[in-house]
A and B are shown apart, each in its own frame.
Chain A
Amino acid sequence: MTSIAVRLEACAKTFADGTRALHPVDLEFRPGEKVAILGPSGCGKTTTLRIIAGLEMPDAGGRVWFAGEDVTALPVEKRNVGMVFQNYALFPNMTVAENVAYGLKIRGAGRSEREQRVMKMLEMMRIRELAERRIDQLSGGQRQRVALARALAVSPRVLLLDEPLTALDAKLRDSLRIEIDALLRGLDVLAIYVTHDQAEAMALGDRIIVMSQGRVAQAGTPREIYHHPANRFVAEFVGTLNRVPGRIAGDQIETPGGRLPWPRGGSGTVEVFFRPESVTLADGGGQLAGTVTSHFFLGDRTRLVIDLGGHPIIVETVARREFRNGEAVRLDVDPATLFTLS
């Protein structure tokens, strides 16, 4: 499989009814990279994917480049992309093997070549024994494997996956996510996932592009996105976030729950943000004082909702103890994890 770079240049999309699905975006995908496009429904992520596939034309002025070749005007059937659709879109009139062989047949591959390739794909997806099954005899997870095998069988230049795991139940989603990740990492192919599930995006993407309302909100590694969100949308969409009002006073911030160290200067009133896992329960002392308003035992940890002078925050702790509602607690927040957003 030869991996290529893909570049979108000023690609916008306005639909016939006048809705602007996508404002002009410039995006670059490097060869062999695994990228997740993340965002809520209607953010333009699927439109972006469909423009790369050639299923949508960008508005005039937009350009799509495959490894230096301008493919904007190239129809989808000539682009040699592999696509896994959200509902799999397997052909019900064909068996599993025939589905996987379809692209090869269209390309005029001979029977023996086809059979060999199909077997290789089915083995890779560990569904060899399903070869002769009809599509309506498959479970959701099996369909997903067939869809992936079918897309990969033609050695696509780019692999596009539209919400590949959304239709599956939670447990299967986790195991298949790990498997797909391992599988695609072994293949030198540019894979672009579209998902609304941030956990999926973090697990599958080397890089995440967060989109909102037809624009790119932030692009970066999962760690950058999580720890250094560029704006409020990204911060709130990815992971759980605590928000507390405060006033900068020298090297400290005064919050309703107490003072937090603030080495970054500035002045005036701000909103200060931190993640639940940045907070630890303090035995004595502690920077903040609050009251437990509810607690959820999750097995490996306990999730607490703590009231800081009228502002609820979420805290996760691995402490093996019981909590009571109304209980007073002291908290420490790692100062390096505090951030503000403009």
Chain B
Amino acid sequence: MRRPGFYLQLAFTLLVCAFLIVPVFMSILAGLTHNYFLGVASGLTFEWVAKVWELYAETIYRSIGIALACLAVTLVLGVPAAYVLAKRQTALTRAIEELLVMPVAVPGLATALALIVTFGGFRDLRTSALFILIGHVLFTLPFMVRSVLAVMSSIDLKTLEESAATLGASFVQRFFSVVLPNCRSGILAGALMVVTLSIGEFNMTWLLHTPLTKTLPVGLADSYASMRLEIGSAYTLVFFLMIVPLLIALQAVSTPRRKKPLPQEAAPGTAP
């Protein structure tokens, strides 16, 4: 026999879940319904998804392209930056660490405006997807740095490197054989974060894009504004299909693995 409070809590939890999930479900359903105004009774169809592909495939490819390029740049810039921050604990590096929170606090629109003011005069840059990439790197780089830095600070990097050095490893050998593999979880989490954020970024991209350099979220806004509701919803469905696996993977890598208990001290070594 459960306490009466249990059912009250269960009902409340289900209500909250419904509150969060029902709109998502409705949106997905709208994208698969023949005619939204007639309801599901009008039949289910993939015609809108096909239409989305026909109209917006380009934005999807561009978003994926920018996300991967953004990942490459943040890896090349962010991992060494995190390494320097982890190795040199000075007032300056601590200040930089604090400043890394900024992109989260500053609205994307403000960053975008700053970029336009700075680079807007370079026509070729302004009209290319590279311009969006610059914005995305600015936005996502701190996430990569923080993610890698968190792991680097949690292990004794200095001693590991020193022990590799006594075994004859040069700086480059140490970096690739000891530093990077031991920061893998942080790099992986950072990478997934960067890709997820880049694919979903709207605020900044909205200002940075041109009609020829639309990304997926910008295309979404476009379709909501100018297409039938079913197309916008089908587009959202496509977006979900791309982003949800990324989010699940992100969750999986950022959950620390359960540690196995230490074996008994008397084990093999002492008893030959």
Q: Please list the residues of chain A having a beta carbon within 8 angstroms of any beta carbon in chain B.
A: 53, 55, 75-83, 85, 87, 89-93, 102-103, 106-107, 125-127, 129-130, 136-142, 145, 150-151, 154, 160, 169, 172, 175
Contacts and interface: CB of A to CB of B under 8 A. Distances in A.
Interface string B133-171: 000000000000000000000011001101111111110
Contact of B178 (A93, A107, A139, A141): A93
B9 interface: no
B118 interface: no
Contact of A55 (B162, B167, B181, B264): B162
Given A92-B182, A102-B167, A139 B159 contact: no
24 contacts: A53-B166, A55-B162, A75-B165, A76-B166, A77-B166, A77-B167, A79-B166, A87-B156, A89-B156, A89-B163, A91-B164, A93-B181, A102-B169, A103-B168, A106-B169, A106-B173, A125-B269, A126-B268, A127-B269, A136-B260, A137-B260, A150-B167, A154-B168, A169-B265
Interface string B173-186: 10001100110100
A77 B182 contact: no
Given A106-B173, A139-B267, 16 more contacts: A55-B162, A77-B170, A89-B156, A89-B163, A91-B164, A91-B181, A102-B177, A106-B169, A107-B168, A127-B268, A127-B269, A129-B268, A139-B262, A139-B265, A142-B267, A172-B270
Contact of A80 (B159, B168, B264, B267): B168
Contact of B182 (A85, A93, A103, A169): A93
A229 to B, nearest CB: 34
A174 B93 CA distance: 44
Contacts of A76: 162, 165-166
B259 interface: yes
A126 B272 contact: yes
B163 A83 contact: yes
B165 A136 contact: no
B46 to A, nearest CB: 45
Contacts of B121: none
Contacts of B263: 137-139, 142
Nearest to A168: B265
A91 B178 contact: yes
B221 to A, nearest CB: 44
A133 B270 CA distance: 17
Contacts of B168: 77-78, 80, 103, 106-107, 154
B182 A89 contact: no
B182 A142 contact: no
A321 to B, nearest CB: 37
A91 B232 CA distance: 51
B92 to A, nearest CB: 15
Contacts of A85: 159, 162-163
Nearest to A82: B166
Nearest to B181: A93
A321 B170 CA distance: 65
Nearest to A128: B268
A81 B166 contact: yes
Contacts of B267: 139, 142
A102 B167 CA distance: 7
B227 to A, nearest CB: 50
Contacts of A93: 178, 181-182, 184
A123 to B, nearest CB: 10
Nearest to B169: A106
B150 to A, nearest CB: 16
Contacts of B178: 91, 93
Given A83-B166, A126-B269, A154-B168, A89 B184 contact: no
